[in-house]
Amino acid sequence: MPMRRIELSLPTVHCAACIAAVERQLSNRPDVFGARVNLTLKRVSITAADVPEIEDVLIAELDSLGYPAKPLDSAVLAMAEGDKAGRDLLARLGVAGFAMMNVMLLSISVWAGAEGYTRDLMHWISAAIALPAVAFAGYPFYKSAWSALSRGRLNMDVPISLAILLASAVSLFETIKSGDHAYFDAALSLTFFLLIGRYLDYKTRATARSAASELAALEVQKARRVTDDGEETVPLDALREGDILVVAPGERLPADGVVTWGDSELDPSMLTGETLPQSVGQGSIVRAGMLNIAGPLKIRAEGLGEETLLKQITRLVETAETTRNKYTSLAEKAANIYAPAVHLLSLLAFLGWGFATGDWRLAINIAAAVLIITCPCALGLAVPAVLAAASGRLFAQGVLLKDGVSLERLAEIDTVVFDKTGTLTTGKPALVNADEIPIETREYAAALAQHSAHPLSKAIARAFSSTLDIEDIREHPGFGTSGRLNGVELRLGRADWCGATSATQTAVWLKVGNAPPRAFLFEDEIRPEAHETVKALKAAGLSVHLLSGDVPAAAEAIAKAAGISHWTAQASPAEKVDALNALAAQGHKVLMVGDGLNDAAALAAAHVSMSPASAVDASRSSADMIIISNDLSEVAKAHKIAVASKRRIIENFSIAAIYNLISVPLALAGFATPLMAALAMSASSITVSLNAMRIGRMK
């Protein structure tokens, strides 16, 4: 019976009892072959018979059980949620900007000396515009501040929210009492400038995606299982250990297992990073995710679901991502110091003026002025403004920055670790002994290679041409290609199949009749910019390492060509993570540059990571930066920009500190009018933004 996978949203599930009830009810149905509830995502994955309207039937079943369900398209949902967040911030920014400009226009008459009813009218109109705008536009700050306070801690949004709310409350109180000054314009300008910073920060993070979720796309969704009646196509969760599976050429293996029938070659590069196909036959161990590139195979499933190597890599990535997310950014460090200091200053101003004068109305006004003028507007823009300028500069050079914090981490590195295949090299084998091969031998090899899909045969066909008319050409999966010329047998393929001893490097052998076999030697071609990139990184004071899953001879050759003295070969995904953790334990901060699925966990585990655009999806998602130009020299250039960006961030913090050293005494002394507060905040914010823009003019 044909089957299909169905995903349904279950928004009301909330406990283990809910999971058990849903899974039991669905599993009791004869047309359901498996059901699994994910409590975190509040959804259920169902393997059911592929019959008309089965989805509607299952939704009705869940509704009758008391769990309303609806169809779910995860990709569309994620895209919609991301777009909604951006539109929401942009809408709040627009409201704050519109309200700020109108209130400032109304404030001009008050600043010019309007008194009595005119001043009160301007204040009341300002209140009518400002209060709804502040309530709507400032919501992201209020929500974040409440979240921090409810957990017994402070963040930068606490003084921001307090300043906005206190400025609005004091302004409303002064308006009711016909006071001389109101802070509506200051509250709105504060909200506006901080929303600019928040939106810039959002845009730099918008492209970041979880690498662990991308790995799911590499899994085979269905498999062909051998039955007593022939073959049947089933979803992965319907497989059981011991099932015999059929894998045709061009298909990926659905499970870990052992080959029970057939000879072929598998492309292991997605999992191991090795350049060359792996020959397999009866008894060979194979892994889920490998691509079958030659003949049909039958395998006995021995590792399913969470037990496959692919899932083990997923878990490594998830663990590494969780660990790296504990990084404390410069903005967070500044907030930890700044937030308590601002509150303490404001409280001291309130108590000092209150007890000194006995005029608590004056005291609350001065406390509000202190909170407004010291509120971290410049600090709120210090990091996002630099990140926006740096990400624009990097993008122009061909590097996509996915996460703003990663720019800070890149500036801190002292070690760079490169993967080999596809990173330092092109990932395409090149013939290296062409000049040593006789012309007649070249023609024999080219004539056979033209009829093979093997990567090394394709390289020979690109290097040589032939007009020979070879007869009886046959491809032998896992071994090579054979044919006959004038009654003489020709073979092009593996060393043992051609009667040769294996070479010390990658090779294909040609045997003509009874003549000794001839070797065609290959190397993975190094990127032309690799050596200069390594040289530039060393000049910047960084240590450079090579960490490869390939054989020692290949790794050593590329390391020598690139100028790298520290290299490791035949490293599994877990061993790559262990190597990075060992460097971290020694106090090193590592940049990992890789492109294969076997690098995904290492990319997530490193202090910061980069991946070329040619990398697999999971590696691009793990990496903090994508080299969209595929030019390796951008690694050194990006590091230089990161160092400059961190310097600009520190300069912006210094500008904010100098601003506070000047403005705080004025506010504490009672000289900070609303006009002064608005002008001071605007001046500091513009100065910080102009300083950040200097990154775009770097040579």
SS in 3 state form for 111-152?
Answer: HCCCCHHHHHHHHHHHHHHHHHHHHHHCHHHHHHHHHHHHCC
CB distance 603 to 625 below 8 Å: no
Reduced to 3 states, what is the DSSP secondary structure of residue 428?
strand
Q: Which of 256, 267, 403, 419 is catalytic?
A: 419
Residue type, 309: L
Distance (Å, rounded) from C-alpha 222 to C-alpha 260?
A: 20
DSSP string, 352-373: HHHHHHS-HHHHHHHHHHHHHH
Residue type, 675: L
| Bridge partners, 9 (sequence order) | 43, 70
Told to judge if 419 belongs to the known catalytic residues of this protein, a careful annotator would answer yes
Tokens for 65, please give them: 């059980």
Tell me which residue of 256, 252, 246, 244 sits closest to 220, measured CA to CA.
Answer: 252
Tell me which residue of 612, 609, 631, 634 sits closest to 622, measured CA to CA.
Answer: 609
SS in 3 state form for 478-532?
Answer: CCEEEEEECCEEEEEECCCCCCCCCCCCCEEEEEECCCCCEEEEEEEEECCCHHH
Tell me which residue of 169, 182, 167 sits closest to 107, measured CA to CA.
Answer: 182
**DSSP letter, residue 43:** E
Tokens for 535, please give them: 């040289």
Half-sphere exposure of 401 (CA within 13 A, CB side): 32
Distance (Å, rounded) from C-alpha 401 to C-alpha 609?
A: 11
Contacting residues for 225 by C-beta, under 8 A, at least 6 apart: 231, 232, 233, 234, 239, 243, 244, 245, 246
Phi, psi of 260 (to 5 degrees): -105, -15
Distance (Å, rounded) from C-alpha 272 to C-alpha 247?
A: 20
Tell me which residue of 559, 534, 543, 532 sits closest to 413, measured CA to CA.
Answer: 543
Residue type, 392: G
Q: Report the catalytic residues.
A: 419
